[in-house]
Amino acid sequence: MKTKFDNISRRRTLGMLGVGVVAAATALPARFAIGGKAKVRIGTLLPYSGTYTRLGQSITNAMELAFAQAGGKLGGRAIELIKIDSEAKPPKAADLTNKLIGREKVDFIVGPVHSGVAMGMAKIAREEGTMMIVPNAGANQVTGPFCAPNIFRTSFSNWQPGHPMGKVLLDEGKKNVVLCYWAYGAGKQSAQGFKDGFVPHGGNVIKEIGIPFPKVEFQSALTEIASIKPDAVYVFFAGGGAVKFVKDWAAAGLKGKIELVGPGFLTEGVTKAQGAAAEGIRTTLHYADTLDYPANVTFRAAYRKAYGKGADVYGVQGFDAGQLIRAGLEAVGGDTGAKADMIKAMEGASIDSPRGKWTMSSAHNPVQNFYLREVKNGVNEVVKLAMENLSDPAKGCTM
Amino acid sequence: MDWLFLLIQTLNGIQYGLLLFLIASGLTLVFGIMGIINLAHGSFYMIGAYLAFSFTQMTGNLFTAILLGIPVTLVLGYGVERVFMIHLYKRDHLHQVLLTFGLILIFNELQLMIWGGDPNGVPIPDVLSGSLPISDTLSYPVYRIFLSVVCLVLAGSMALVIRHTRVGMRVRAGAANRAMAESLGVNMRSLSAIVFSVGVTLAGVAGMLAAPVETVYPGMGEQILIISFVVVVIGGIGSIKGAFVGAVAIGLVDVYGQVYLPEIASVAVYGLMAAVLLWRPSGLFGRT
Amino acid sequence: MSAPILSATGLSKNFGGLNAVDNVDLSCALDTVHAIIGPNGAGKTTLINLLSGDLAPSSGEITYRDRDITALPAHRVSRLGIGRSYQRTHIFPEFTCWQNCWLAAQSREPSSLRFFRPANAALAVRQRTEQALATAGLDSRADTIAATVSYGEQRQLEIAMLLAMEPDVLLLDEPLAGMGPEESVQVVELIRRITPGYAVVLIEHDMDAVFAVADVLTVMVDGVVLESGVPEMVRQSTGVREAYLGVGAAAADTGCEL
Amino acid sequence: MPSRNVLSALAVLVLALAVVPMIGDKYWIKLATRMIVLGIFAMSLDLLVGYTGLVSFGHAAFFGLSGYVLHLVSPEDAAANMAWALPVCLGVTALAALVIGALSVRTKGVYFIMVTLAFAQMLFYFFHDSDLAGGSDGAYIYFKPIFALGSVVLVDLGGSAVLFYFSLVSLIVLYAGLVMVLRAPFGKVIQGIKVNEHRMQALGFNTYLYKLVSFVIAGTIAGYAGFLFASIDGFVSPELLGWQESGIALVMVILGGMGTLFGPVIGAIALLGVEELFRDRALFGFIAAHWQILMGGFVICIVLFFANGLGGLLVKIAGRQSEER
């Protein structure tokens, strides 16, 4: 995607002058299409700095891979990608979304990773009616109380990933469990998802240890778990927190004595940093590296060839975002104006994803398989299909 | 809650406190003794951790990595002092806040460009990777005990140097009254450069030592920045003993809060600081 | 002499083991200058800090117009009418002399918690400021930044600020400190001129100045009052000579004037 | 306070801003509104930092609190009427400022900085951890407030241009108000406290009380700015109260020039404008992806070469301030 230089419009220059003598950004260009069908403008609002940088990069890489596989054209139109760094800062979310929609005049906005940013983005997308594809942020609200026709999600709701683990533990007779999680939005929702799959079927939650986000001092929690001696411990941590918790768990000698389980984020893409401490940890997620679907094999090969490193679940979610946009645009021959038809096409789409085929729920959240995985020498290997076509209850969505 | 549980939790609290003292030690020097509000303290901690990560990958051993890392942080600290901080000694705190805020932005971006965005881990050196069993299910990582010992040694030596050596005396004199110290023949220009670069190195070494028990990821600096200031301020500015007691107090409050009062765990530390400052407006051992 | 307006009984202040001020009785009536002399470290400044409320006494009592003000903070004591100046110049260096004096004059208003009318519109405050500057002989320097005027003029500004507060009691802590001979004469003349109508407690080392203006003289040594009374009587007292000229000096009687 | 030339320079800036809604599209209007609202916020902090000598590192607590109160009082199906919603938001914020101020103002210097930081962090975690208002994900204000008397809607902040002009007028009125307050007896006292608090006590001023009143005024104005900020996009998140937000406000005050009142407003405009510039790929190409380095460099240059900030620069260019007797 070559960024082409654009010329300056009189109207825009005056607007800029107005923004303030000191700002003096008069040279900001307008966007003009020169000849032929205008390019499809896709804006990404993803973290390209801060703790979630890696997720932002994985999603963007995989989405560009999906566009490349479509021959660089969607519904006959070339693609222009506009990347904006969300910095995972919610106060900036609404403004940066305005920038994508108001100034860059994009047809699709793809993002974010952080749930707080997702809330800000969704508010503007609902007001402006712009097509919004969420490739990661799992806040239940996005496909719950704040669901909207123009908002789709290709990742998961926080409720989903932990839910199947309840059944897995009960099938193995592990009834007494302790929950330990970061006590913020995603952590609470994931714990609730697990409880909904565990308690109604006879499971007993002995204790819930909530740790303030983003603290990473786990010694006191590990000591408490050791004294309670539960059958298993369900945890929700991601990124740096996941690396540290797994290493502390092993260092405290609990590895092998008490079973450690959780949603896939505990070991997804961080096993290299966790080292031996991650071996044998079982998690449930809508993806695993060793899934033998043809789509997965080709995707992982293409990703490694293009970017020189293994793909992860965040890449799969970005790849599917690209496929979803492609499905929508091809259904309307690239006419982004025909929004209703495009939405109908995307709602009905069956995505042939590396994680296996999945369809869109009425609240626009993936109805997808969840796999039990186990870490074997650094790879999240598939153990079995934990739950088939699990759909988010989408409480509060009136769409 | 039997007594063993309480004992172990207390040990956890003290160990976390000692780690906090190690992390805040650089700031105790730069902010506590020299009175420079250095918001970039977290960035030096992060740079130290990333240096440990890279050199451990190269040499395979954490200790050689630290030995390689120390000169780098010394040069970095000296450079930052000579280029930037030198202009700020006569300026008020606010200009230090603004300049070091700018440094945070630059260091964060440089880190991303050099090391990228992936969270990394640094393996614990084999000799210290064992664990001591203390109950049938729980055992205590040897490396954390090693860290606590290092903290105690560091605290002792810092107090010794600052309290009982000529260099320490000059540093304290310079902090108390820079102009007077200069007129008494103390070469404050070079002394400030030395103290600042030692402060930066302490922050870097803290990052290197903590790397095996922490995760090395972009933005790790901001996580420890505020808690480091809290440690220095609770103890009382300019007092090494105060920072030590402050750190251990925070460690205990944090752990007990986590275990016994989980709902207010996140605000417990800030509540402690507010309470201490309202009871003794210049910290536990601070000079007014 | 008229009844004392300000009196302290059994006043002491100790910092740890050190008794800076030890069981001191002192009183001062209107229209009188009560000078306090004594070697360095005698506790003179500490005594002033106790009277002005800057320091809380360890024991003893201070009454002003028959009202116990022992425990009042400095700003309450000042509002009651006890103004003080400082040994080390203690002014607002960045403000002009006028603005320095203005703040002192404004402190007499019932309350400064007023947000709408411009401060300069307060005529009473304007007059107080002008009069204080004039009395202190600084009206020509009104618009110059205080930090740029001479040291002597800064001491005069201290006194002008004191006058602008229209107190009843003046606590003067070494107003002549660091002054040259001719400046001292000028300031002594100023003190003599302004003292009628005030009760003045004057701390000073300059003996000529003290004997020129003092009605009552107290000598303090090591926190204790050695001698107190009319200047002439105190001058003859043996204890005072020993304190000043060292033990045995009284016997030698070298005839040097105190 | 400011000299005629400085006032005229400010008038030009206000005119330049006022032109935006007429020609800029919705994005520029919202950006300009954010500049003005953060300008009001930074100006309120300057009342503390530049005029009373109280360096608060927790001023965003009041900025965010007011936004959250607006969320809590706004019904989900209708717009809240500012006639009662605004006084409620400002009342709660003023009360919080009174409580936090009463405790913090007892400390001095760096300890005051840290105590205000502590209270702000406590408020941040209150909204971040509790489910009262959406927890860490933040919460919506579905309908932006309106100002209606009876059934007659006079002002609807839903319109971005309306909100812009409402904010601009608020900025001008508040600036004039603060200039008046600083020339009133109260203003003289707090400026004296900044230079030499001990001397002010000796003159008979209860400095604790005046510092507290200044803290509450500044907190309430910050609350007003928070009310407007929440109305721009109808979204509030705990990060609004975080220490980074307080840090940014301090940067704006120093960048704009402490103790000038209008300086921090210029600081806010400059900081947001320059960030907009550095992030634009057309101007800075691939460096735009690393805009934070340029921003860091910009901030450092201001500290090293323009010690009294952009506002101070403006005063120097536009001539000395008229000497105020």
For residue A261, what is the domain's CATH number?
3.40.50.2300
Question: What b/e readout covers A156-177, taking b as 16+ CB neighbours within 10 angstroms?
Answer: bbbbbbbbbbbbbbbeeebbeb
Structure tokens at B68: 């390689």
Residue D275 has pLDDT above 70, yes or no: yes
Total structural domains within chain C: 2
Q: Do C107 and D205 touch (CB under 8 A)?
A: yes
Give the confidence band of A33 by pLDDT, cuts at 50, 70, 90.
very low
User: pLDDT category, A12, cuts 50, 70, 90?
Assistant: very low
pLDDT band at A35 (very low <50, low <70, confident <90, very high): very low
For residue C74, give the nearest of D180, D189, D201 by CB distance.
Answer: D201
pLDDT score of A365 more than 90 = yes
Q: Of C34, C7, C17, C3, give the one whose Cα is nearest residue C223.
A: C17
pLDDT at C248: 53
pLDDT band at B100 (very low <50, low <70, confident <90, very high): very high
What the block records as the tokens of A316 is 């799969």
Show the domain range for A59: 33-156+293-364
Q: Does A311 share its domain with A324? A: yes
Pick from A19, A89, A213: CB nearest D28: A19
Residue C236's pLDDT is what? 79
Q: Which domain holds residue C185?
A: 1-81+167-258
Contact between B49 and B22 under an 8 Å Cβ cutoff? The reply is no
Average pLDDT rounded to a whole number, residues B164-178 = 84
Band of residue C64 on the pLDDT scale cut at 50, 70, 90? very high
Domain boundary among C140, C166, C192: C166
Considering the domain architecture, whether residues A328 and A259 belong to the same structural domain is answered as no
Chains C and B touching, counted as 3 or more CB pairs less than 8 Å apart: no
d(CA B225, CA D243) in angstroms, rounded, equals 11
| Same domain membership, residue A220 and residue A72 | no
Same domain, A276 and A297: no
Residue A269 shares a structural domain with residue A385? yes
Q: Which helix (H) or strand (E) holds A108?
A: strand A108-110
| C192 and C243 share one domain | yes
**Confidence check: pLDDT of D315 > 50:** yes
CB contact under 8 Å between D55 and B93, yes or no, is yes
Q: Is the pLDDT of residue C214 over 90?
A: no
Contact in structure between D266 and D310 (CB atoms under 8 Å): yes
B→A interface, C-beta within 8 Å: 2, 5, 8-9, 12-13, 15-16, 108-109, 112, 116-121, 123-124, 131, 133, 135, 137-141, 143-144, 213-220, 223, 254-255, 258-259, 262, 265-266
Contacts of D122 in chain B (CB under 8 A): 267, 270-271, 274
| Residue A22's pLDDT band (cuts 50, 70, 90) | very low
Q: How many domains does chain A have?
A: 2
Option in D55, D290, D297 nearest B113 (CB):
D290
Chains near B (3 or more Cβ pairs under 8 Å)? A, D
Averaged over C59-73, what is the pLDDT?
Answer: 91
Q: Which of B94, B106, B266 sits opposite D293 (nearest CB)?
A: B106
Task: Give the pLDDT score at C183.
Answer: 80
Q: Is D124 on the interface with B (CB under 8 A)?
A: no
**Alpha-carbon separation of residue A169 from A164, A250, A263, A288, A376 (angstroms):** 9, 21, 13, 19, 20
Closest chain D residue to C99, measured at CA: D325
Cβ within 8 Å, pair D234-A99: no
Q: Answer yes or no: do A23 and D277 touch at CB < 8 A.
A: yes
pLDDT category, D250, cuts 50, 70, 90?
A: very high
Interval C24-40: pLDDT, tens: 999 898 888 999 988 88
Q: Compute the distance between CA of residue A386 and CA of residue A356 in angstroms, rounded to an integer.
A: 14
User: Is C128 found in the same domain as C13?
Assistant: no
The answer on A316 and A208 residing in a single domain is no
**Residues A276, D62: Cα–Cα separation, whole Å:** 47
For testing the chain D interface, which of B31, B93, B96, B99 should be mutated: the one with the most D CBs within 10 Å? Answer: B99
Q: Which chains touch D (3 or more CB pairs under 8 A)?
A: A, B, C
**If residue D199 lies in a helix (H) or strand (E), which one and from where to where?**
helix D185-202
pLDDT digits (tens, 9 = 90+) for D152-210: 888 888 888 899 999 999 999 999 999 999 999 999 999 999 999 999 999 999 999 99
pLDDT of residue B1: 52
Picking from A57, A210, A275, the nearest residue to B121 by CB comes out as A275
Query: Are residues C254 and C173 part of one domain?
Result: yes
Residue A250 lies in a domain: yes
Using CA atoms, how far apart are residues A385 and B276, in angstroms rounded to an integer? 55
Which residues 183-212 on chain A approach chain B with CB closer than 8 angstroms? 183, 209-212
Whether residue A225 sits in one domain with residue A201:
yes
Enumerate domains of chain B plus CATH numbers.
9-124+142-279 (1.10.3470)
pLDDT in tens, B39-94: 999 999 999 999 999 999 999 889 999 999 999 999 999 999 999 988 888 787 88
Which pLDDT value is given to residue B75?
A: 95
Of C132, C166, C200, the residue that ends a domain is C166
Same-domain check for residues C189 and C67: yes
Same domain, C162 and C200: no
DSSP-derived letter for residue A26 is T
What does the pLDDT read at residue A21? 47
Read off the pLDDT of residues D252-274 as tens digits, 9 standing for 90 and up: 998 898 888 999 999 999 999 99
Distance CA B75, CA B80 (A): 9
Domain-ending residue, one of C114, C140, C166:
C166
At position B263, the amino acid (one-letter code) is: E
Check whether residue A135 and residue A255 sit in a common domain.
Answer: no
- In this prediction, what percent of chain C has a pLDDT beyond 70? 93
B186-232 pLDDT, tens digit per residue, is 888 888 899 999 999 999 999 999 998 888 988 888 888 989 999 99
Tokens 């902040």 belong to residue: D157
pLDDT over 80 at A4, yes or no: no
Q: Which residue of B has its CA nearest to A227?
A: B5
Calculate mean pLDDT across residues A322-350.
90
Does residue A47 lie in a domain region? yes
Question: Omega before A214 cis (within 30°)?
Answer: yes
Find the CB nearest B9 among A209, A220, A275.
A220
Residues A44 and A123 in one domain: yes
Please tell me the predicted confidence (pLDDT) of residue A221: 92
Q: Does the residue A43 lie in any domain?
A: yes
Work out the minimum CA distance from A278 to partner chain B, whole angstroms.
12
- Neighbour count for residue B288 (Cβ, 10 Å): 11
* Domain presence at residue A130: yes
On chain A, the residues whose CB falls within 8 A of the CB of D276 are 19, 23, 25
ipTM metric = 0.85
Contacts of C159 in chain D (CB under 8 A): none
Are A279 and A166 in a shared domain?
A: yes
What pLDDT score was predicted for residue A5? 35
A309 and B CB contact within 8 Å: no
Cα of D228 to nearest chain C Cα, Å: 25
Average pLDDT of the residues in D112-116: 91
The verdict on A342 and A274 lying in the same domain is: no
Evaluate whether D10 touches D172 at the Cβ level (below 8 Å): no
Whether residue A198 sits in one domain with residue A312: no
Is A310 domain-assigned?
yes
b/e sequence A255-268, b meaning 16+ C-beta within 10 Å:
beebbbbbbbbbbb
Inter-chain contact C103–D323, Cβ cutoff 8 Å? Answer: no
Say what angle helices A115-128 and D207-233 make with each other, to 10 degrees. 50
Q: How many CB pairs under 8 A join A and D?
A: 155
pLDDT of residue C245: 62
- What is the predicted pLDDT for the residue at A11? 43
